[in-house]
Structure 1
Amino acid sequence: MDAQALLDEIERLVNRIEQLVDELYGAVRNILEQIPGWLGWVRDRLLDAWDYLCEKLQPLWDWIAKYFSKPGFPWDLQSLAGRWTSEVGGPVGGQATVADAGTLLADDVWVGVAADRYKQALAPQRAAIAAAKSALADGMSKALSGLATALWVEFGVIAGGLATLVGCIIGAIASTSTVFGAPAGPFIAAAGVVVFLTAATGAGFVLSNAATNSKLDIERALADPAFGSGKWPKAVVS
């Protein structure tokens, strides 16, 4: 399953959860009408359980709204990582040997003070060109690929967690079909919500750490000594 299909599956599961919560609400209302007056304590337990579930559902709806506002797109990051390798790293890497005193025709016919200073500038230029491939292009590709992988993992955790939550709510509906089992129904659903939010939060921390590591990789690439503290070396030596 590709990333877009996985994201579509997450959206489908969210819609399914919303439908099942409505079904559970209907089941609770239906069973409340069937509870006889002498079992008032069952009614009270069921109402308390439903209130508890509602308290747990609000953070779930908030999380879903926030998640779908910016879910992340790992396929774009992976594509960009590949472009840094193919469109920057490859072409630039092949140019490193060009800035070599031994391969330039000018080295054979140009002599004097100016020629010597020109040759002195070649080494930093060659180092910077090589670093543009080994440090910058490869570093950017690594950073973007790492972040894309973390997003993939988050997608998988969320999809699996939502699928488990669907199962919990289905079980809650089944439990609510009987008078004495009804109070347990909302608690079963609430437990599923808590488990999901815990897993989703953990996946979010993993993604956050991956983003931090990617940022550090990019900063290290830009700070490579070959670039002269963030600046391209001078083409001439005074």
Structure 2
Amino acid sequence: MGHGLPLSESEFNDLIHTLDDGIRRIEKLANDIIDRVNDGLRFLGPLAQGALDLLRRFGELVTKFFSEVGKFFTRWGVPWTLYSHGQTWTQQVGGPVHELVSKVDAGQLVTDDYWTGTAATAYNGLLPLQVKALAAIKAATDDLDDALWKVAGGVIAFWLAIAAVLAPYIVELIAAAAAALGVVTAPAAAAAAGASTAKAIALTTAVVTMSITYLTTLWTQMRDLDQRLHNSDGLPDGHWPTLVSDISNGRVHDGGKTLDWNIKS
């Protein structure tokens, strides 16, 4: 297949480094907000308890955010390896098989030009089945390449979506951290940081859910491919078509004729 991926290998690696740096920055900003609001609590008087409640809620949400992110964040995936395997199936298996399809034909072979008899007839009768088998293999390699390309693209799309979640979240935490420096604005900073974190959690969960749905669809595609290979007319019971007749017997009978192979006169 002639598919490409949305990012080059180096661009994907840069994306991963950016995400890793982003997570570290979120952790630092969260700690800064907590420390700054805590420092201002003693000056808030009767408002201190409300600010403390908001701060605790923010801390709980941050913990939940890192818990969700931690489920997948160290497993980046290898989209370019998947893509390469798909290309290999197409180029090294599908391509050569496709070339054989036009050759495995009675009109392209010399068997029927020089031989006749039971074995020759059986062999020529097998050729259409071999063409079907080769066509089934070519179709399977195309489907496999397509599936691996989609998985590779899905991995990249997933991390791009996560990056789209983290970028505004970091911006909002920076603003909250700045507001947390002020005694009067500290409670609002804790509230804003909590709201931003809740939103980031919801968006992250949505991205994960969509990715699971996408991969489930691809898994169904691969399962259907496996079933087609095992139920294909070209590959009976998942195996290469075989002869029913024995074409290896070349015994000579009276009159100089052979049982299975006879040279055309």
TM-score (norm 1): 0.90
Structure 1 counterpart of 2:14: 5
Alignment-derived partner of residue 237 in structure 1: 244
Q: C-alpha displacement at 1:196, in angstroms?
A: 1.7
Asked whether the 8 Å contact 1:144–1:214 carries over to 2, the reply is no
Q: Which residue number in structure 2 is paired with residue 131 of structure 1? A: 136
Provide the C-alpha distance between the structure 1 equivalents of 2:142 and 2:134, rounded to a whole number of angstroms: 13
Which residue does 2:235 correspond to in 1?
A: 227
Q: 1:140 Cα shift?
A: 0.5
Larger C-alpha radius of gyration, 1 or 2? 2
Code of the residue aligned with 1:164 in structure 2: it is P
Distance in 2 between the 1:75 and 1:59 partners? 31
Which whole-Å deviations, capped at 9, do the CAs of 1:84-118 have from their partners, x for residues lacking one? Answer: 22122112211112221111111211211111111
SS in 2 for 1:183: helix
State the match for 1:199 in structure 2: 203
Q: Distance in 1 between matches of 2:237 and 2:196?
A: 52
1:10-66 Cα shifts (integer Å, max 9, x gaps)? 10100111111121122112212433xxx22x1011100011112211221112221
Instruction: Name 1:107's counterpart in structure 2.
Output: 112
Alpha-carbon contact 2:30-2:62 (below 8 Å) kept: no
Tell me which of 43, 48, 71 is aligned to 1:66: 71
1:178 matched to 2:178: no
1:27 to 21, 27, 36: 36
Tell me, yes or no, if the aligned pair for 1:140 and 1:217 is still in contact at 8 Å.
Answer: no
* Matching of residues 20-169 of structure 1 within 5 Å: 20-35=29-44, 39-40=45-46, 42-133=47-138, 135-169=139-173
Separation in structure 2 between the aligned mates of residue 186 and residue 73 of structure 1, nearest angstrom: 38
SS where residue 102 of structure 1 aligns?
helix
Q: CA RMSD in A?
A: 1.7
Are residue 16 (structure 1) and residue 16 (structure 2) matched?
no
Distance 1:214 1:124, change over 3 A: same
Aligned length, in residue pairs: 232
Structure-2 separation of matches of 1:153 and 1:84: 23
**What's the TM-score, normalizing by structure 2?**
0.81
Deviates more, 1:26-35 or 1:108-117: 26-35
Q: Following the alignment from structure 1 to structure 2, what is the Cα–Cα distance between the partners of residues 14 and 68?
A: 9
Question: Helix, strand or coil: the match of 1:67?
Answer: coil
How far the C-alpha of 1:171 sits from its partner, in A, is 1.6
Q: Does 1:216 align with 2:220?
A: yes
Amino acid at match of 1:29: N
Greater helix proportion: 1
